[in-house]
Structure formats: structure tokens, C-alpha cells
Structure 1
């Protein structure tokens, strides 16, 4: 078993499912980084039992450092038909199967091996780093980039951290992505008036009110499609609206007094969600009039910004060169990159091994060649910190 495979096997062996305590995997990563001579900070999350890590290799307080970022959490495997234990890294020919192997413990393993190769006591053939390498490892990314917020708040207040750029290693097939959409998740709570279904006219059906709001979501999508300036870089070149969950009612013979729609807006970079939420609030007032009573509440439950980085930045040029690419790309899924850019004011790209098409599914895998290419890519990035 190669060094990188051993590290990845250890990481996959921790069932670090999002929304659950992550002490075991963070303990292991922290000990690994300490053994490499890294300076490591443990940053508590807002929820009990969750934490992130921020580590430094190289000189402190020197400007121009590069952050490598990964999340250590994975999505659940419940209900998925795996061919092998999802939390045991399993080789089949050149593929390494396991939950998180592509998203994104593969890149995390490459980060840890990079730290190991650049440990002060283990690099006699390398010149010392003139600028720092930072490693950011977050929790609960899979439930809306939750854990990275406390990490960034801690780093933002640390005057010794002088980073200029950040690479988020989400699986892009080592394409250099400079843009993705942001996201607003929200609930539409429709309040009606309960009554016995023997005479439903004595009540106001919250489900009927929710039906009006589902129509409103469709109208909002059409409004967005026709008013936004389309961005042809994306497969869907405008912001999107989607209702993913709906729940309401207590029994068939009761006119329901509550129905909740959980929805999201995926925003093109450069667009704000507030006008669209206001549009929905006005639609809610109209829906109440149509029903003849009731109330509609809209509450944002989670949001993170999109990314729209310059393809002409020094970071982008470095990444293209080391990844062997001729042009930049965009991605359709969200990442922590927009938060790094917004909170720390650093240049950001998204570039990592594996494929998002394998993520969140049974039999997720990464290949030997993808890991090897990522290690070469990161070695080239770190070499730039020696000049």
C-alpha cells in the first residue's frame, strides 16, 4: 500500500458524517500534522463536539502564503447499496472505493502527505519555505458550509496569518474552476386555520396556501430566467429556484393549520438574494388574499456566497501551470471558496482530484492516477513558496 493510500485509508475509516461529532477524525489529523512539525490550531465549532483545524508549515507572519482547504465531513450512506463497506477503503484494480474518497478525503490525504513531505526534519533536499503553507480543514461543509465559518472568524482575527490565496480542493478533475453559484436555503411556513373536515369552510387550509406558494416559486423562476443577464459559462446560465421538501397536515379529517415548504435559490455570481425573497414575500401577501386568510412566513435557514474569481490572478496562473491546463472552468456545485474570498479577502480557486459525479453515491471512488496527479500539482504549488 502506497503512502497516499495509507493516509486515505485512515481518513475513510472515520465515519465522519456531517452533523455528528467529529472528534475522532480531527484528533487523528491533528496528531498527524503535529508529527510533521506543523503549527496546529484546534477551532471549536458552534455545535458541541465539532471542530476544525488550521495549520501552518513554514515561516510565521510572512505575507504571500497559500491556504489549501478541505472539509473532513462526508454525507450519510443510509439507504445506499454499496458493494463494499463504505468506511473501509477498498481497492479494485486502480480504483479506491470509500465514502469521501472523491468528496473530498482524497484531496485531504494529498494535503497531509504534502505536509509530511515538507516537514522541517524530513526535507533535506528542499530549500525551506520562504512563505507559509496553511492547511484549513473544516467540519459540516455538507450541510451548508457551516463549520468553516468559525474557522474563518478565528483566522480573520489572527494578525499572524498573512495568506494571499486559497485553493479549495473539491473534486473538479483537477480543472481550475474560478466561479460557482451561491445558495440561499429558506423555509416558507404557511399558516392556516384548523377545522373539522366535515365542514372545511370553517377553516383555512395551510396546504392550499402552500399550493399558491409553489405556484409563486415557479413564477419567480420564470421572472429570473427573463430578467437576469445570463452567464453562458454555466450549464444553467441563470439563477435557479427549487422546492425540495414539503410537509403539512396532521390527519385527513383536519383542515391543516401549518404547511412548510423548504426551498433554495442558487444565485449566479454577482446577484443578491434579497430582492427575490422580497418578491416571494409579496407573493405570500397575494396568496393570503386568494385564500381569504392565513399567514406566510419566509425564513432563511442557510446561505453562502458564490465565487467569481479573476482568471488573470497569480494564483490562477500558478494553478493552470501546475495542473497542466490551458483554460479555466466553472462548476455547478457550491463550495467554501466564496466564504474564504469574502472573509479573508484572498484570491480563490477550486481545484482537486476526483469527480463530483461520483460523490454522494454508492461506490464512490478515486483513482491512483488522480491522486498522483494531485500530489504533483500540490508539489508544484508548494515549490512556488520557496522562491
Structure 2
């Protein structure tokens, strides 16, 4: 890794941090900026917008057409900075004490900057095997962009063999992580005066009973832990993120919602939880609600169901990255990424990128310069696999 490569990457990262690509907002300006950089390097670039036209994925290729390529993947969106106590403008990168500060430096624009800065280097060497860049929208809100991109790749018959997802792992190789299934369950009751609770359907109270069932299932899942699980914690988890409802002390609330998630270690656990909740709502909660109001209802909205990354005995991605980094093994993590989506397309996949997950989503998020240098070194050595 040369000093020039590091300087070029830092300059590019500064540009990327300046795009405030919070998931609630458009990422188009950043995607168009990256597209221009990659096209200048000789890449064939496709931009795929979502239904709103305000979000887009980028998929670009250097080297020959055909199957068997290597994908470098990253998400363009970042989490909000509202109500966080930053010591500097989060969208102006600041270098201080060997660290680069700014929203998205480690999660995960640092990896994107390293990959794109080396695009001319890749272009000169990718003669035998394609190198792809996959930059997505809305990873932080359910991996929506990656799921859309997976559909495009499948429809177009594009079949890469290897995916390296550059989430912040401190350059450790991650070969497995849990899935992330997110839901919002909506309760419709019947409003009324608080002095006559039996004449209404208290949506908040039924939401509380639903949460109590989630807590019961949360404990049952511990007994379903697979003997081979390498995760920490080793079982499928459930988290209740929010319970919202009601308007006043003396009004029976007619609306409520519960935001919750589970992180399955195996598909059967997700099926178990959904089956148990369906039975509880159908045979216990809804009959009691509808005995008072026939229009009462419980509806669960799927925010996102993203499969985990399953450790595989045969994993070309792991073998390649172990060779590039000198690592002699791979780990698992509890947090989710887009890797399972690429794995479901038939690719071998690992997660490996600069920076620590401990810095992600926090005020004064930073990426250590030595981590960025290590990432550049890994990617520069990747060129030997392309020619």
C-alpha cells in the first residue's frame, strides 16, 4: 500500500462523507458521483432506482463479461445524527490523532472509498476474472436496496462467485451472522371514555399482552439453541423496540403499535415464533377484542426479513480473504449485514472491512488510519486474483 493510495482514498472518503445519505433521504447524488468515478476508470456502470426514484443501487463491472466474478459490496446510507453530541460537523471529515471522524467513516464509506480509489488499479489487472462493485441503499432500514439488487442480478443472469462485504469488522474475517427480521404489529381497538373500559377495546392493553407473549417466546428460544451454534448469544433473540399508543389518561386507546425484531440462528426458530404469535392472536386476542368490536384487528407489517450468513464448509470468499490478510480463521458476529442476500444468490460470502462496529452509529464515529491502510493493502493484493 503506497502513501499516494492512502492519500487518494482519504480525499475520496472526505467527498463521500460530505453526502448526507441518511436512510430517510436520497442517496442519488452520492451514487452518481461514484458512477462517474468508476466510469472514468473504465467500468461498465448500471444505476437501478427504487420505485420513488429517490434511491438507487449501483452495480459496476471491470474486466471481462461472464460468470465467476468477485463483488466488493457496501451500503451508501448512514444512520441519523439528530440528537447526537458531535464535537465537529458529522458531514465534514476531520483528521485527528490518526483517526478520520465523520458520519459513515467506518460504517461504511471507508471501505467504499478504498474500493473505488483502487478502481484504476483493478482495471489494469482484471483480464481473467470480472470485478464488480455493488453499492446499495437502505441497508440500515432493512437491507431494502440489496434485496432489490439481488432481484436485478437474478433476472439479468449475472452470477458472480464471491462477495466481500466491507462492513466494519476491524479487518477480521466474518463467515457467519444471524438474520434480522423486523416487524411492526398494529392494534385496532375501539375508543371510549375511560370510565367505561368494558365498552371499548383497549388497543394498548392488547399490545401489552402481545409483548408479554413475545417475552415468553424470548425465553423459550433459549431451549432451542442448536448444539453447533457459534453465535453470542447462541440462541435466537427477540427485542421489543417500542410500544406506542393512547392519547390521554381518560380515553380508551383505539390504536397501538409494537415495533419488534428477532435475530434467528436458524430458519425453524423464525417459523416457530411466527406460528406461535399467529395462534395466540387468532385464538386468544382477536376473539376477545371482536366480542366487543367486530372491526377490531391485529395486523403485522413486515419491515424486513434478512437472512443470516450461514458458515459454509466450502467458502472461496473466506479462502481468498484469508490469503489476502494472512488470517488463519474466521469468526461469527451477532449483527446483521447484506452478506446473506449475496449468499442466497449462490455466492460464497464473507464480511471484512476497516473500522470497529463499536464506533458505528455513535457520535464522533471514526475510522483509524491504520485500519484504512490495512484495507487498502488487502484490496491491492486482490488484483492477483483477477488477472
**Does the alignment reach a TM-score above 0.5?**
yes
Does residue 315 of structure 1 match 2:313?
Answer: no
3-state SS in 1 of match to 2:84: coil
Contact residue 281 and residue 298 of structure 1 kept, 8 A: no
Distance 1:41 1:372, change over 3 A: same
From 197, 209, 219, the counterpart of 2:194? 197
Q: Which residue of 2 aligns with 1:211?
A: 208
3-state SS in 1 of match to 2:168: coil
Q: Which residue of 2 aligns with 1:383?
A: 384
Does residue 275 of structure 1 match 2:272?
Answer: yes
In the alignment, the residues of structure 2 paired with residue 119 and residue 205 of structure 1 have an alpha-carbon distance, to the nearest angstrom, of 63
In the alignment, the residues of structure 1 paired with residue 311 and residue 119 of structure 2 have an alpha-carbon distance, to the nearest angstrom, of 27
In the alignment, the residues of structure 1 paired with residue 372 and residue 12 of structure 2 have an alpha-carbon distance, to the nearest angstrom, of 12
3-state SS in 2 of match to 1:273: helix
| Offset, 1:310 | 1.5
In the alignment, the residues of structure 2 paired with residue 301 and residue 119 of structure 1 have an alpha-carbon distance, to the nearest angstrom, of 38
Contact residue 269 and residue 308 of structure 1 kept, 8 A: no
Matches within 5 A, 1:100-139: 100-120=104-124, 127-139=125-137
Q: Give me the TM-score of the superposition, normalised by structure 2.
A: 0.93
Matches within 5 A, 1:66-77: 66-77=70-81
Q: Which runs of 5+ in 1 are unaligned?
A: 121-126
Matches within 5 A, 1:255-294: 255-271=252-268, 273-284=270-281, 285-288=283-286, 293=292
In the alignment, the residues of structure 1 paired with residue 89 and residue 42 of structure 2 have an alpha-carbon distance, to the nearest angstrom, of 33
In the alignment, the residues of structure 1 paired with residue 63 and residue 171 of structure 2 have an alpha-carbon distance, to the nearest angstrom, of 25
Matches within 5 A, 1:15-94: 15-61=20-66, 63-94=67-98
In the alignment, the residues of structure 2 paired with residue 116 and residue 299 of structure 1 have an alpha-carbon distance, to the nearest angstrom, of 44
Q: Give me the TM-score of the superposition, normalised by structure 1.
A: 0.93
Q: Provide the aligned length of Structure 1 versus Structure 2.
A: 377
3-state SS in 2 of match to 1:157: helix
Q: Which residue of 1 aligns with 2:184?
A: 187
Q: Which residue of 2 aligns with 1:333?
A: 335
Distance 1:315 1:29, change over 3 A: same
3-state SS in 1 of match to 2:58: strand
TM-superposition CA deviations, 1:131-186 (whole Å, max 9, x none) = 11000011111111011222222222223x34111111111111111111112111
In the alignment, the residues of structure 2 paired with residue 84 and residue 219 of structure 1 have an alpha-carbon distance, to the nearest angstrom, of 44
Does residue 146 of structure 1 match 2:144?
Answer: yes
Contact residue 187 and residue 299 of structure 1 kept, 8 A: yes
**How big is the alpha-carbon RMSD for the aligned residues of Structure 1 and Structure 2?**
1.8
3-state SS in 1 of match to 2:140: helix
In the alignment, the residues of structure 2 paired with residue 40 and residue 319 of structure 1 have an alpha-carbon distance, to the nearest angstrom, of 25
| Offset, 1:231 | 4.7
In the alignment, the residues of structure 2 paired with residue 190 and residue 157 of structure 1 have an alpha-carbon distance, to the nearest angstrom, of 38
In the alignment, the residues of structure 1 paired with residue 327 and residue 307 of structure 2 have an alpha-carbon distance, to the nearest angstrom, of 26
| Offset, 1:250 | 2.2
| Offset, 1:230 | 4.8
Distance 1:230 1:80, change over 3 A: farther
In the alignment, the residues of structure 1 paired with residue 385 and residue 308 of structure 2 have an alpha-carbon distance, to the nearest angstrom, of 27
3-state SS in 2 of match to 1:25: helix
Does residue 302 of structure 1 match 2:304?
Answer: yes
Q: Which residue of 1 aligns with 2:375?
A: 374
In the alignment, the residues of structure 1 paired with residue 168 and residue 101 of structure 2 have an alpha-carbon distance, to the nearest angstrom, of 15
Contact residue 133 and residue 382 of structure 1 kept, 8 A: no
In the alignment, the residues of structure 2 paired with residue 297 and residue 15 of structure 1 have an alpha-carbon distance, to the nearest angstrom, of 34
131-140 vs 281-290, greater mean Cα deviation: 281-290
Q: Which residue of 1 aligns with 2:165?
A: 168
| Offset, 1:204 | 2.4
In the alignment, the residues of structure 1 paired with residue 323 and residue 93 of structure 2 have an alpha-carbon distance, to the nearest angstrom, of 31
Contact residue 186 and residue 300 of structure 2 kept, 8 A: yes
| Offset, 1:222 | 1.4
